[in-house]
Every structure is written in structure tokens, then in C-alpha cells.
A and B are shown apart, each in its own frame.
Chain A
Amino acid sequence: VLPPEKPLQAEEWNKLREDFQLPEIFEEVMLNSMIRCNSPVDVAKSLLTHLAKRNGDVAYNVLVKYLTLCVQQGQVSEIRDVYDIMKVRFKILESGAYNLLVKGLSNSDQWRMALTLLEEIKKIMIPSRTCYESCIKAASRHQEMKLAFELYNEMMAKGVVPTLDVLQSFFSFSRGMNDAELQKELFGILLYLRENQIYPHKTFMRSIKLWFESIPGENWRGRLTKIKDSGQCPVCNHQLEDSNLTEEEYSNLSERIIRDVIHGTDTFRKTSPKEFEAFQTFVESRLPFDIVIDGLNVSHIKSRKMQCENLFDAVNCLAKENVRLLVLGRKHMLMNSSNWKREIMKEMQNKADFFFAENISEDDAFLLYATLRSGKHCKFVTRDFLRDHKACLSDSVTRHLFRKWQRGHQIAKNKWFSSVFSQQPAFRYDCVVQTTGDTWHVPYKDVFEEKYSYQIPRKWLCIQQK
């Protein structure tokens, strides 16, 4: 249904309603389409008047829909009226109406009322993040940065995750202020980005850049750049943080891999205690390896070729002077079959160490264990993104560690020569917001939408104090 262009009389509404297929939901459908078409408020008002006359009452959901329309068009006095009516009518409201009210009021000159409303919500429930977002934005728009940060810290304490928009608004509205306290808070946000491996998008990055450059008397200068493969910033020649984990992180990660990925709730799900023990003694006796290969994964690289030939190519390609290889496979590879020729397997076993797991065991878990156990220099080869193993880790800190480690240690297949492996893993430097005090390096995304969790941005903002 298309909403009418002008306010209608009661009869006209009645007629429309009777013509509608399902008269019971006519008002809802009509208001929805008004919201969609952004009809004038007067039209909606005439519908409400008609409703009020007919039923002596306007239902809550209809009121909320009307409120949506008012918020959409910024009709502040209407929003206030609706709020007054709702307050008299109902003891409390639900989150949808509160969100709308806060949003509507915070965008007006009566934004302080949104704050009182927020206090009211807090008595009943934890306010949604959109509520906080509206209030924080309103406060920072009116240069009340202190208030904005109070709200921000409050929402963080309640475990409400802020949107990127909120974070950005802090930077855009703090421009040109020389306030040590404020500066500290903003650095805190940058560190929040760092800790959670959040990458700002282009406009957010620009707000950060402009804020730095606007601090009076500090002479910051920001430039966009791409970091060299070596990890050096071409603008300031500064070496970015290493992608290697610290000793503590390293031992932490390998412990968690053993506990959560290999054992999990039941060691028998992925392997068996006996097999894992055998594997552990095997690995310990031959440590350290330089490269660990997921045999089955690599053997499927070229579908036309025999599987053992694929693996053979990979082993040949990676085997160099004094490089210790470990290939993980399953027992069925040892059976002479059309895909696994015994002679080729024999030849490979001269060049690399092999461990064959049971056919129903998960070899990926062994891959992770062997690589981590061999030490920081050890890398692994598989096309698998290892998402299911990452998911086994129970907290986000360890998952971030896992991704960081994976970026630094997984050897990828070379794009152009499908069976040649680029010996260098993707990144030597760590892709997070980082600082040395007089420089800041911020990776950013070109577009707003999320990237795949294994992909990281290549573009950087380099900020330097002259």
C-alpha cells in the first residue's frame, strides 16, 4: 500500500481500511509504508486521530511506529509529546521505544533530555549500544568531551561494545583542543583498537589524522603509506613491531592449543591419549623442525596430479640444505593405492620425517603442536585457514594470539607457480595500531565492511611528531 499524500478524514481512512485485505493489521502496514516513504507527519497524525476516535485509544506498537517516523524526520516537539503520552500511559517502556526516544532527542537542542532518559533506562535494563552511541555523540557534538568520556567508560564497564562511529566521533569532535586529560583518553581509544585488533576504516582514519594534526603546539604530521615487506615504514623509516610472539605469549599459546584444541572436552574426539603420547615422544626425539607440512592438504593442490606426486613436489621444493621437514599424514597413505605409490612415499621419507596418524584422527591438531613445539623459527604449510581450530580456543585474547602467530608462521602457496611455495610467510611485522611515543602507525581498511578474519589491511597511516 502506498500512503496518501495528504491527511485524510475518518471516512476516507475507513474506506481505505475496508479495501485492505487484512483490516486488522491495516494501521501497522500503513505506518510501515509511511516510514518507508518518509511521508509527512501530518498524514500519520490524521491516521492516529482516526484511530483515537474509533477506538478511544492508540496501541503501543502504533505509537512506536509513529515515533519512528518522527525520529526519522527530526520532529522534536512531536517526539516529546509522544514521550509524555507514553510516560503517562505505561509504567516503563521497552528498549525499542527508548532507543528511538534517545536517538530523536539527542539529535536536537534538547539533547540533555536524552541523558535524563538514559538514566531512566539504566534503572530498568542495560541501555543498548545505540542509546549510548546517541548520547555520546550528542555530548561530544556539544563539546562536552568530559561527559562523553564518562558515558564511554560507563558503557565499557557494562560490557557494551562501542561502535566504530562512537570512537570516531571522539576524534572528530576533539579537534584543536589542548587538554592533557582528553589526549590521554583518546590514546586510550587507540590502545583499545590495538588490543582488540580493530582496524579503522578510511573516514575514521582521517579523523584520527586530523585530530593529531590539530593538537596545538605539538607538530604532528600524518601521511598515508604502505609498509615494506621488511616491516619498515617508508615515511619515517621506523621499523614496525615484529610479528613474533613474546616468550610468554608463545608458551601461553602452545599450552592453550594442547588444552583446548587437542584435548578439548575429550581427548578421544580428535585423537587418543595413546596416539598423542606416541606423537609427543616422536616429536621430542627429533626436535626441532624448520617446516611442518600438512601432507594431506598439500597433496590436493593440483587435482589433476596424483596425490603423492603433489606431496613429492612440495617436499622437493621445500627441502633445502639443512632444513628439517616434518610431514604429517594418515596411515592410509602408506597403503599402496592409485593415489599413493609406495616407491614415491619411500623416497620422500628419506628427505623428511613422517608421522602417520590414525585414519580417524585429526592431523591438523598435530601440525599445530609440532610447529609450536619446534620454536619460533618453525613454519608450517597448509592451505587450511584453521578456522575450526581457532574456534576451539575459548577466549578472544588467545584467538588473537593464534591469528597473529598464524600470520607469521603459515607458509602460503605462491600465487603464480601453483606448486612453488613462497618461503616467507605473509607478514614479518605485526599488523596492529602501534606507537613509539613520537610516532603512531595505524593500519586501516579502505571500506567499511568487515574483512575476513585472516585478511589484514595493507594500508597504513603514519603519524610523526616533528
Chain B
Amino acid sequence: MQSANMLLRKIVRSSVLPFTAQHGMKKDLFPLSRTLSLSLCLKQDKSCEPSEKLDLDEWKKVMKSGLQEEVSEKVSEPKELSSLAAARQTLEMWRLAGRAVPEKISEAQLKTFMECPSKSAKKKYLKYLHLKELYKKNDKRKMDEKRERRLEAQDEASKTDETKKSSFVCLWTSTMDKAYNWRAAQSMIFGQPLVFDMSYEKEMSVREVTNTVRQLVMSESCNRRSVDPFHIHFCNFKDDSLYQREFIKHYREAWDKLLITVTDQCYTEIFPKDKLIYLTADSPKVMKTFDHDKIYIVGSMVDKSIKTGVSLARAKRLGLETAALPLEKYLLWSTGAKNLTLDQMMHILLTLKDTADWKKALEFVPKRKYCGFVNKPVKDLKKTLDLINTLKLGKAREEVEKKFAKNYPKK
């Protein structure tokens, strides 16, 4: 009996199992083996541990046996790997190990990955690619869902089949574009200039340049949509620079038709020096009002590693006036650097130009960076805080009094 049982076990383990595991037949087979072993236990010894009937090394056999064919295939492959292939395989292993690694990686990306100077740089780059891939996937999923919904809606619409009457032909986007372009063209003749200083390419990494260009594209679009746009100048713009390549990636053919001035000249060559004001967060001077006769310069730089004083140094070198936004004056700053993104700057400047209302303009500072608006100058800030504290304490006292009153009601 025992030997027969053993034999059966062996058969089950060694040959049938991989097959069954793959084809989902285990349900039929295993109860049998278990009852057999159970009965064995009962016969032999009642204090038998439940673990005994489990073959703990079974998984090893599964892992090894399921692989026989694959192994023979692998032998024929050449042993030496090119460095690219090796890197690709390492990535694959990292992905299996559950690290943040993209599923697909292009040849160029792989090369960038291999050129990363350190382990942490490699890790960061992979994480960036991984997240990018995730976002892309999510976007695609959402698009698909949207399309489905639209198709459904169309189906329903076709069932009801009603034509709406309206005095306008539905050509919203192109009409709007025309209107915007007309305004932008007007601004190119009559508008107040706003200069973006494009001379920071050397100061930035490739990714920072990419981000800069994205922010500039956003700034340009919000300028175009505004009621009274600026006349945008990209100064110190070198042909065939990284900036230009990135811009062309974004705008494609539209790059040459943009209603802005792009020049390799410096702003000091185009405009009188005394009219220029360089906007930089490091400036000791704080901007009080928006001057419609001045020409403001914004440095087209994303500095993730907070390079203090780079743009201030540039203004100093050229002997230009500088100014910083009065962030401290109007906002109770909490966290984050005082440098804002280019599109935020654009929003703020446009609002200032139209309304001269600092509060309205500084709404565009990200909410996470400040706690609230201050009505009084910074000197009074402490007083305000004190007031808040006393108010809080006062409230606490009131509550205590209320409790007291509850516990000891007046007669």
C-alpha cells in the first residue's frame, strides 16, 4: 500500500504536475492524492504534522521541469551579448524585480540610459520614462473611453434625428483662431513688448530646456488668447539651438507662422537700455506697479537645481534695472521657491497689464506656495499673526466658559 502510494505521489509530482498546472486539471487530481496521504497518516501516526503531507520542494521541480524545452533553445543562442542588449536585459530584470522601469524602451532612450553618469542618474531616468509611459497609457485609455461614449451618443442622436437651427455656422475654433491671430498681429504693431531672454541654454540640462519650451508654448498661447496681447520677443535666440529644435517639435509648421518676434539679437540692441527691466526673483528691488512704457524681460530658464543669481548676474552685467514680484508683500508665503514658471509669469503680467490689480494677478501663483493674501505690509504681519493667536486663544477661552456654563448652569 505504502509503496503504491509513494509511486502515485511521484507520478503526480514529477510528470503530471507541470502539465496539470498549466491546463488547470489540478482540481481533479489533487483531492485524490490528498486523501491518499491523509489515510496514510491516519494509519501510521495520529500526531502527524500537517506539513508532512506537503511536499515543500515541489515548486522547485515545477520551475525546473517546465523549462526543459526553453533551456535547449537557449543553448543555441550566442553567449556574448552586445552592451545594448545586455542593458536591455538588465532593464528587463529590473522590471521583473518590481522596480520603476518602462515596459518599452527605444534604442535612443537606451543609449541615454547607458550614458547616465551614475547609478542614481540611471534610476531617475528610468523612473521618468516609467511615469511617462504610465501617463501615456492612462491618456490613451481615457481617449478610448471618450470615443466609445461619443459613438454611443451619436447613435442616440441619429435615432432622434433632429436638426437644430442656429444663425451661426458652427465653425468655432477656426473663427476664434482668426480673431486671436488678428489681435496678435495688432499687438505686433502696437502692443507692449515682452522679452523672453533665450540665453540660458548652457545653464540647463536637456530636460530643463524641454520644460522651458513647454512653458513658453503655454505662455504664448495664453498671450494670444488674451484681450490685449503682448508683443512677444524671443531675444538671443540662436538658430539650430536646442530651444529651436524643441519649439519645432511642439509647433511643427506653425513655428514659422507664429505672430511673435524671434531674433538672435540681444534686447539691449533692440530697445533703449533705460526702458528695460529684468524680472528676476533674486532682485533686491520689488516691483510696485506695472509700467506700460517699460519693457519687461523674463529669463527663459527652468532651474530645477535653483541656481541663485544667474539671471541677476546677467542683468548686472548689462547694467539693467531689475525687479522682483512683490510676493512677500501680498502673500503669506509658506513653501517653495519664489521663482515661478514662465506661463505663471505670463498670466500675472497679462492680468497686471489689464487690471493693475496685484491681488487678481497673484491669484496665478500656485496655491500650495502660500497660505493666503496679506492686506497689510510685511511689517504688520507679526501683528496680524499675534492677532490671530489671540483670537484663537480667545476662542478657546470662550469654549472653556461655555463648558463651565454647561456644567454649572446659572440658577
Which residues of A are at the interface with B, using a C-beta cutoff of 8 A? Answer: 6-7, 9-10, 28, 42, 45-46, 48-49, 51-61, 64, 81, 84-85, 88-94, 96-97, 124-125, 266-270, 272, 359-360
When the two chains form the complex, which single residue of A58, A89, A359 contacts B284, counting CB atoms closer than 8 Å?
Answer: A359
The verdict on A53 contacting B90 (CB below 8 Å), with A6-B51, A46-B51, A268-B313 known, is: no
The verdict on A91 contacting B74 (CB below 8 Å), with A42-B51, A57-B66, A268-B313 known, is: yes
| Minimum Cβ distance to chain A for residue B31 (Å) | 10
Residues of B within 8 A of A55 (CB): 21
The docked-state distance in angstroms from the alpha carbon of A88 to that of B63 is 9
A–B pairs, 9, beta carbons within 8 Å:
A52-B59, A57-B66, A81-B57, A90-B93, A268-B312, A268-B316, A269-B312, A269-B313, A360-B316
Chain B interface, >50% SS class: helix
Residues of A within 8 A of B17 (CB): 53
Interface presence of B409 (CB below 8 A): no
Residues of B within 8 A of A88 (CB): 63-64, 67, 71
The docked-state distance in angstroms from the alpha carbon of A89 to that of B93 is 11
The docked-state distance in angstroms from the alpha carbon of A125 to that of B81 is 13
Nearest 5 interchain pairs by C-beta? A268-B313, A52-B59, A60-B96, A94-B93, A45-B56
Residues of A within 8 A of B22 (CB): 56
The docked-state distance in angstroms from the alpha carbon of A208 to that of B82 is 45
Interface presence of B54 (CB below 8 A): yes
Q: Is the CB of B89 within 8 A of A92?
A: yes
Q: Is the CB of B97 within 8 A of A96?
A: yes
The verdict on A94 contacting B97 (CB below 8 Å), with A46-B51, A268-B316, A268-B317 known, is: yes
The docked-state distance in angstroms from the alpha carbon of A268 to that of B316 is 7
The docked-state distance in angstroms from the alpha carbon of A52 to that of B93 is 20
When the two chains form the complex, which single residue of B58, B66, B71, B86 contacts A92, counting CB atoms closer than 8 Å?
Answer: B86
Residues of A within 8 A of B127 (CB): none
Q: Is the CB of A56 within 8 A of B96?
A: no
| Minimum Cβ distance to chain B for residue A395 (Å) | 16
Q: Is the CB of A57 within 8 A of B51?
A: no
Q: Is the CB of A54 within 8 A of B316?
A: no
The docked-state distance in angstroms from the alpha carbon of A93 to that of B93 is 6
How many pairs of residues, A versus B, come closer than 8 Å at their CB atoms? 117
Q: Is the CB of A9 within 8 A of B50?
A: yes
| Minimum Cβ distance to chain A for residue B268 (Å) | 15
The docked-state distance in angstroms from the alpha carbon of A135 to that of B195 is 61
Q: Is the CB of A91 within 8 A of B89?
A: yes
- Give chain B interface residues in 87-135, CB to chain A under 8 Å: 89-90, 93-94, 96-99
Q: Is the CB of A45 within 8 A of B57?
A: yes
Q: Is the CB of B56 within 8 A of A7?
A: yes
| Minimum Cβ distance to chain A for residue B238 (Å) | 19
Closest to B49 in A: A6
The verdict on A124 contacting B310 (CB below 8 Å), with A94-B94, A359-B284 known, is: no
Closest to B26 in A: A53
Q: Is the CB of A124 within 8 A of B86?
A: yes
Which residues of B are at the interface with A, using a C-beta cutoff of 8 A? Answer: 17-18, 21-22, 26, 30, 34, 49-51, 54-60, 62-64, 66-67, 71, 74, 81, 86, 89-90, 93-94, 96-99, 284, 308-310, 312-314, 316-317
The docked-state distance in angstroms from the alpha carbon of A75 to that of B381 is 65
Closest to B63 in A: A85
Residues of B within 8 A of A81 (CB): 57, 60
Residues of B within 8 A of A93 (CB): 93
Q: A51-B59, A58-B63 are in contact. List 12 more A-B contacts (CB 8 A).
A: A7-B56, A9-B50, A28-B98, A45-B59, A46-B54, A48-B59, A53-B58, A59-B96, A89-B67, A94-B99, A268-B312, A269-B313
The docked-state distance in angstroms from the alpha carbon of A59 to that of B60 is 12
Q: Is the CB of A125 within 8 A of B90?
A: yes
Closest to B316 in A: A268
Q: Is the CB of B51 within 8 A of A7?
A: yes
| Minimum Cβ distance to chain B for residue A262 (Å) | 13
Q: Is the CB of B56 within 8 A of A49?
A: yes
When the two chains form the complex, which single residue of A92, A272, A360 contacts B93, counting CB atoms closer than 8 Å?
Answer: A92
Closest to B285 in A: A360
Residues of B within 8 A of A49 (CB): 54-59
The docked-state distance in angstroms from the alpha carbon of A60 to that of B51 is 25
Residues of A within 8 A of B54 (CB): 7, 9, 46, 49
When the two chains form the complex, which single residue of A7, A64, A270, A272 contacts B97, counting CB atoms closer than 8 Å?
Answer: A64
When the two chains form the complex, which single residue of B18, B310, B314, B316 contacts A56, counting CB atoms closer than 8 Å?
Answer: B18
Q: Is the CB of A54 within 8 A of B21?
A: yes
Closest to A54 in B: B21
Q: Is the CB of A42 within 8 A of B56?
A: yes
Residues of B within 8 A of A90 (CB): 93, 96
Q: Is the CB of B98 within 8 A of A61?
A: yes
Q: Name which of A51, A56, A59, A61 has the most chain B CB atoms within 10 A of its CB.
A: A56
The docked-state distance in angstroms from the alpha carbon of A60 to that of B314 is 54
Q: Is the CB of A94 within 8 A of B90?
A: yes
Residues of A within 8 A of B50 (CB): 6-7, 9
Closest to B68 in A: A88
The docked-state distance in angstroms from the alpha carbon of A45 to that of B60 is 9
Q: Is the CB of B284 within 8 A of A360?
A: yes
Closest to A268 in B: B313
Closest to B55 in A: A49
| Minimum Cβ distance to chain B for residue A84 (Å) | 8
Q: Is the CB of B90 within 8 A of A92?
A: yes
When the two chains form the complex, which single residue of B26, B56, B90 contacts A46, counting CB atoms closer than 8 Å?
Answer: B56
Q: Is the CB of B63 within 8 A of A52?
A: yes
The docked-state distance in angstroms from the alpha carbon of A174 to that of B75 is 45
Residues of B within 8 A of A94 (CB): 90, 93-94, 96-97, 99
Residues of B within 8 A of A6 (CB): 49-51
The docked-state distance in angstroms from the alpha carbon of A28 to that of B22 is 22
Closest to A85 in B: B63
Residues of A within 8 A of B34 (CB): 9
Q: Is the CB of A272 within 8 A of B316?
A: yes
| Minimum Cβ distance to chain A for residue B116 (Å) | 13
Residues of A within 8 A of B90 (CB): 92, 94, 124-125
Residues of B within 8 A of A54 (CB): 21
The verdict on A266 contacting B310 (CB below 8 Å), with A56-B18, A88-B67, A89-B67 known, is: yes
| Minimum Cβ distance to chain A for residue B282 (Å) | 8
| Minimum Cβ distance to chain A for residue B100 (Å) | 13
Residues of B within 8 A of A266 (CB): 310, 313-314, 317
| Minimum Cβ distance to chain B for residue A432 (Å) | 28
Residues of A within 8 A of B30 (CB): 10, 53
